[in-house]
Chains A and B, each alone.
Chain A
Amino acid sequence: VAVTEFEQFAGDARPQLQRALVARYGVEIGIEATSDAMAYAWENWTRVGAMDNALGYLWRVAQTSVRRHHRWNTRPTYPAERATDASDRIELPPALWKLRPDVRVALLLVHGYEWTYDEVAALLDVPLSTVRNHVHRGLKKLRDELEDR
Chain B
Amino acid sequence: MSTSIEDRLRAYARQLDEASSEQDVPTREPRRRGPYWRVGLALGIAAAAIVGIVVVAHRDDTPRMTDAPSTTTATTTPTTPTTTSTSSPAVVAPLPVDGWRDVAPSPLTAREDAGVVWTGSEFLVWGGRDGNLMYQQGAAYDPATDAWRTIADNQWAGIGSMSVWTGTQFVVIWKLSGAVYDLATDTWSQDALASLDPDEYGGFLAAAWIDGRLLALTIRRQPGAAFGHLAVVATVPGDDSWSTLAESDVEYTPDMMPVATPTGFAVSRIVADGASAQVWKYNAEQNLWIDRGQYTAPEGLLVESFLLVSTANGWAAVASLRNQAEGSQPAIVTDGGGSWIMSSFGEPINVTQAVSVGDDRLMLFGPDQVDLVSISRGAIVDRWTADGFGRTSQALSWNGSTLFAWSGRAGGPVTGAGRLWTPNDPVLTQKIDARCIDRTLQPTTSPTTAAAWDDPTSLATVSRSYRPASPTDQSTALFELLLQRLPEYTTGSHGDETLSAAGCVAGRRATVAAAGTNSSVTVSIVRLTEPISIERSIAHDDAFTRLAPDLFVSDSPATGNRIVVKVLDDGTIIDVRAFGQDALGFAGWPTTTLTFDHPTPQPPEQTIDDLLELANVVTDQLIASRP
Contacts and interface: CB of A to CB of B under 8 A. Distances in A.
Interface of A: 18-19, 22-23, 27-32, 35-36, 38-40, 42-44, 47, 51, 57, 60-61, 63-65, 67-75, 77-82, 84-86, 89, 91-94, 96, 107-108, 111-113, 125-127, 139, 142-143, 146-147
A61 B537 contact: no
Contacts of B323: 80
A138 to B, nearest CB: 9
Contacts of B596: 126-127
Contacts of B11: 81-82, 84
5 contacts: A79-B325, A84-B8, A93-B12, A96-B12, A146-B8
Most chain B CB within 10 A, of A38, A63, A111, is at A111
B55 interface: yes
B23 A31 contact: yes
A91 B325 CA distance: 6
A94 B58 CA distance: 35
Contact of A28 (B10, B63, B502, B532): B502
B8 A60 contact: no
A61 B503 contact: no
Given A29-B502, A61-B63, A85-B1, A72 B537 contact: yes
B541 A28 contact: no
A93 B344 CA distance: 20
Contacts of B253: none
- Closest 5 A-B residue pairs measured CB to CB? A112-B13, A80-B325, A74-B502, A39-B57, A111-B9
Contacts of B39: 27-28, 77, 79
Contacts of A93: 12, 325
Given A40-B59, A72-B537, A113 B503 contact: no
B325 A81 contact: yes
Contacts of B24: 31
A142 B17 CA distance: 21
B124 to A, nearest CB: 40
A39 B59 contact: yes
Given A32-B465, A70-B539, 7 more contacts: A19-B17, A27-B23, A27-B39, A28-B23, A40-B57, A72-B537, A108-B9
B18 to A, nearest CB: 8
Interface string B51-72: 0000111110111010000000
A70 B325 contact: no
A39 B300 contact: no
A79 B57 contact: no
A28 to B, nearest CB: 5
A19 B325 contact: no
Contacts of A44: 62
Most chain B CB within 10 A, of A42, A74, A89, A107, is at A74
A16 B586 CA distance: 23
B547 interface: no
Nearest to B347: A75
A43 B58 contact: yes
Interface string B113-157: 000000000000000000000000000000000000000000000
Given A23-B16, A113-B13, A68 B36 contact: no
Nearest to B24: A31
Interface stretch (B257-265, B399-407, B587-595): B587-595
Contacts of A70: 539-541
B465 A36 contact: yes
Most chain A CB within 10 A, of B13, B327, B346, B586, is at B13
Nearest to A70: B540
B431 interface: no
B593 to A, nearest CB: 10
A92 B591 contact: no
B414 interface: no
A81 B346 contact: no
Most chain A CB within 10 A, of B11, B12, B38, B540, is at B12
A79 B16 contact: yes
Nearest to B465: A32
B9 A107 contact: yes
Interface in B484-509: 500, 502-505
A100 to B, nearest CB: 11
Most chain A CB within 10 A, of B16, B19, B24, B63, is at B16
A60 B325 contact: no
B538 interface: yes
A72 B505 contact: yes
Contacts of B56: 39, 42-43
A18 B21 CA distance: 10
A47 B63 CA distance: 12
A111 to B, nearest CB: 4
Nearest to A62: B62
Contacts of A78: 16, 19
A77 B13 contact: no
Contact of A111 (B6, B55, B532): B6
Interface string B590-606: 11001010000000000
Contact of A79 (B19, B324, B591, B594): B19
Contact of B62 (A64, A86, A107, A126): A64
Given A72-B504, A92-B12, A108-B13, A77 B5 contact: no
A94 B325 contact: yes
A79 B23 CA distance: 12
B346 A73 contact: yes
Contacts of B500: 32, 68-69
B453 to A, nearest CB: 16
Contacts of B62: 40, 44, 61, 64-65
A37 to B, nearest CB: 9
Interface in B52-94: 55-59, 61-63, 65
Contacts of B591: 60, 63
B35 interface: yes
A149 to B, nearest CB: 13
Contacts of A69: 500, 502-503
A60 B12 contact: no
Contacts of B13: 19, 108, 111-113
B42 interface: yes
Contacts of A68: 500, 503
B536 interface: yes
A44 to B, nearest CB: 8
A39 B35 CA distance: 31
Contacts of B300: 80
Contacts of A146: 5, 8
Contacts of B540: 70-71
Nearest to A84: B3
Most chain B CB within 10 A, of A30, A32, A142, is at A32
B27 to A, nearest CB: 15
